[in-house]
Amino acid sequence: MAGKFCPQCGAPLAAGTKFCEGCGAPLQAQEAQPVAAQPAVTYAPPPPAPYAPPPPAPYTASQQPEPAYYAPQPIAAPAPAAAAKKPLYKKWWFWLIAGAALLVVIIIAASGGTNAKQEDLLNYLNQELPRAAGIESQVVSSFEGVTGENYTDDDTMLKALRDEVIPASKRLIEAVEAIVPAEQELRDIHKIYVDAVKLQDVAFAMYVTALEQQDRDIVERANDKLSAGVAGKEDYVAKRLAYATANGVTIS
C-alpha cells in the first residue's frame, strides 16, 4: 500500500500494513473492493422505415395524356378546285359513287338509227350498270351510317364494316368486273371505275385494321386510299360522259 495514508490520522502507511502505526486503526476494511465488471452494452440502431414514394402530382390541363386512338371526325367539305388535295365530303362522296352506276334517262342524239358503238354504250348504260347500282347504293348507305356525323363508337363502326360494308363491297367488285363492254375504248373507261371500286374496298379493310389496332395513322392512310377511289370515280364519270358525247349519246 505504498504511497497511501491512514484514513483516520493521515499517517503514511507501509505496504502490507493491516493497522495504522500512528493510531492503530485497522486497515483491512479500508481496502478498496474491486469493482465488478459491467456487462458490455452493444448499440443496435432501429431498423429504417420502409420508403414510401410521394404521390404523383395531378396532371394539369396541358399535361393530360393523349388517348391511344382518336375517333373518326366528320368528313370535311371539299376544298376549292385549285387545292392540291381534295378531302372527302360526305354528300359529295355519296353523289359521286352513286352517280357512277345510277343513270336515269338516256337520249340518243344521233339520227337515222344507231351504230355499233352507240348500241354497245346504250347496253352498258341501260342494262349492265344498273345491275351494280343496287349493290353500290348498299355499300354507300352502310358506310355513311357509321361514319362522319353518324359515328357513335368504334365497336359499332367495326361491326358495320365487317358485317355490311365489306361484304357488299366484295359483291360490288364481282358485279363491275363481270361487265365487259364490246368496244375496247369503253372497256378502258370502265376499268377506271373497277379500279376505283377496288381502292374503295382496300380502304374499308384498312379501317377495320385501324379500329382493331387503335391506330390513327392507319385511319389517315385509309382516308387517303378512299380519297383516291373517289378521284378515280370522278375521272371515270368525266371520261364516260366525253365518250358518250363523242358518239352522239346524251346522258341526262
The 10s digit of each residue's pLDDT in 145-156 is: 998 889 899 999
Per the domain annotation, does 58 fall within a domain? Answer: no
Per the domain annotation, does 221 fall within a domain? Answer: yes
Structural domain boundaries enclosing 183: 90-251
Res. 19 pLDDT band, cuts 50 70 90: confident
Per the domain annotation, does 183 fall within a domain? Answer: yes
Per the domain annotation, does 45 fall within a domain? Answer: no
Per the domain annotation, does 96 fall within a domain? Answer: yes
Per the domain annotation, does 166 fall within a domain? Answer: yes
Euclidean distance between CA atoms 252 and 239, whole angstroms? 15
Per the domain annotation, does 190 fall within a domain? Answer: yes
According to the model, what pLDDT value does residue 90 have? 34
Question: String of b and e for 229-246 (b: at least 16 CB within 10 Å)?
Answer: bbebbbebbebbeebbee
Domain count, the chain: 1
Residue 169, pLDDT above cutoff 90: yes
